[in-house]
């Protein structure tokens, strides 16, 4: 398995832990934001890419009219299966799909939405070209991407803590991938390279990340993301040590009770 494959693999216990810890802590607040933006656009058919365990899907199902068709996809079948098992407030079509080779006809959707998924595209311009291809002529692409890791406090603490356990080869998944696509000029250039001629609207949105405890936050990042894959590749027996170090780092900054940290992301809307 290549390093890129490791970065994109959400399998084994990751989907369950991701839903339990990561979704309420970091993804649910932005899912509400994305859902409201899509509702404001108006659409008859919506495609979601990189749906994960379905937090945005559930928001869309609740916020959009019942006659709006929603198709939710993810690269990882394990994530699709877990999302489907959780259910939605109304029917949704679930599909496994690669964003770089979408199995849909041209101009099939009025809106394409992607929450924190574009960072994982191995070829951003190709992914954007595929999204543009399946959009209707007046369609809109709505997505978000994390800003720099220093402005996302729990992720920064978890990354720094992992480095104390593996100082010679620190696991850098969180900084490299989720928080590695924060240059808005690069985002604009990649969209243009994918064929989008209109200028995107890019808004910096700060929200709060909350967890029941520092340990819950540490478990989410260390067990519920591909950071787990990086730790296992170095020495799986040290996973508990990384969790302990991350717990201590988050507790030092935020205390031992409910923890509340800063999150920052760029939210992008662009017309076809």
For position 118, which CATH number holds? Answer: 3.40.50.150
pLDDT for residue 15 is more than 90: no
Predicted confidence at residue 5, as pLDDT, reads 46
The average pLDDT across 78-93 equals 94
Distance CA 115, CA 18 (A): 15
Taking residues 223-250, what's their average pLDDT? Answer: 96
pLDDT tier for residue 17 given thresholds of 50, 70 and 90? confident
Alpha helices in the chain (DSSP H): 3-8, 14-17, 28-41, 55-63, 77-86, 124-134, 153-165, 173-176, 184-193, 214-223, 227-235, 239-254
Query: Is the pLDDT confidence value at 6 over 50?
Result: no
4 pLDDT higher than 70: no
Residues 199, 72, 182, 180, CA torsion sign? negative
Its domain, for residue 151, covers 3-271
Number of domains comprising the chain: 1
Q: Is the pLDDT of residue 8 over 60?
A: no
The upper half-sphere exposure of residue 1, i.e. CA atoms within 13 Å in the direction of its Cβ, equals: 10
Tens of pLDDT, residues 32-76: 999 999 999 989 999 999 999 999 999 999 999 999 999 999 999
Closest alpha carbon to 23 in 162, 224, 179, 180: 224
Q: Give the rounded distance of the alpha carbon of 234 from its chain centre.
A: 24
> Residue 16: which pLDDT band, with cuts at 50, 70 and 90?
confident
Cβ neighbours for 267, distance < 8 A, ≥ 6 positions apart: 30, 33, 34, 37, 142, 143, 144, 202, 203, 204, 205
pLDDT for 265:
98
């Amino acid at each position: 398995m290549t390093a890129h494959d490791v970065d994109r693999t959400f399998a084994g216990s990751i989907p369950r832990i991701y839903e339990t810890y990561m979704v309420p802590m970091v993804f649910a607040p932005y899912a509400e934001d994305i859902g409201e933006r899509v509702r404001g656009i108006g659409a008859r058919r919506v495609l979601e890419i990189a749906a994960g365990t379905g937090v945005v899907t559930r928001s869309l199902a609740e916020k959009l009219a019942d006659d709006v068709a929603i198709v939710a996809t993810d690269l990882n079948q394990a994530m699709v299966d877990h999302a489907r098992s959780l259910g939605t407030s109304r029917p949704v079509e679930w599909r496994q799909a690669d964003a770089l080779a979408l199995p849909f006809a041209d101009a099939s959707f009025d809106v394409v939405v992607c929450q924190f998924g574009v960072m994982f595209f191995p070829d951003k311009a190709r992914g954007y070209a595929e999204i543009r291809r399946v959009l209707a002529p007046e369609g809109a692409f709505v997505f978000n991407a994390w800003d720099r890791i220093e402005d996302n406090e729990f992720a920064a603490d978890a990354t720094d803590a992992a480095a104390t356990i593996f100082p010679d080869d620190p696991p850098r998944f969180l900084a490299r991938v989720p928080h590695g696509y924060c240059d808005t000029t690069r985002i604009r250039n990649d969209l243009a390279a994918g064929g989008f001629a209109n200028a995107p609207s890019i808004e910096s949105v700060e929200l709060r990340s909350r967890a029941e405890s520092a340990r819950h936050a540490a478990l989410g990042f260390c067990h519920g993301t591909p950071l787990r894959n990086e730790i296992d590749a170095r020495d799986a027996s040290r996973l508990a040590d990384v969790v302990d170090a991350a717990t201590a780092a988050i507790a030092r900054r935020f205390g031992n009770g409910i923890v509340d940290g800063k999150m920052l992301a760029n939210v992008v809307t662009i017309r076809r």
